Amino acid sequence: MSGVTVDPVNLQKLGGKLRSSAEKLGNQATEIEKVDFGAVQAGREYGPQGQKVHDALVHLSAWLKNWRTAVDVTGAQFVACADAYTKTDDATVHRIAAAVDF
């Protein structure tokens, strides 16, 4: 007999780790947003380059926020699926036990 084995405990742990990683990504995005660097800070001779640095930091922060959201949603889904699997498995055991009349 072949099939798929699901370990809901480990699936929940993985979901929790993903959500923890998402939080760290969000924290880094917040830290990057605090960086105040642009044309003025780069100096008169390097204004265009300073603006490029500023634009890159804005882009990086947005990218990290998007990544955070994706990882958080994935982690939450792992946890939800583990919970659903456990409930389904428990219900099946109860139905089998009732049918067999242990």
* pLDDT digit string, tens, across residues 61-76: 999 999 999 999 999 9
Tell me if 58 is assigned to some domain. yes
What tokens appear for 97 in the block?
């036990």
**84 domain residue, yes or no:** yes
Residue predicted with more confidence, 3 or 84: 84
- Classify residue 92: in a domain, yes or no: yes
Q: Which band of pLDDT confidence, cut at 50, 70 and 90, is reported for residue 3?
A: confident
Which domain, by its residues, includes 31? 8-100
E strands, the chain, are none
The first and second tokens of residue 6, run together, are 């699901």
Whether residue 29 lies inside any domain: the answer is yes
Residue 2 covered by a domain? no
pTM: 0.78
Q: 58 is written with which tokens?
A: 């804005």
User: Does 1 have pLDDT greater than 70?
Assistant: no
User: What is the number of structural domains in the chain?
Assistant: 1
Tokens of 98: 């009732």
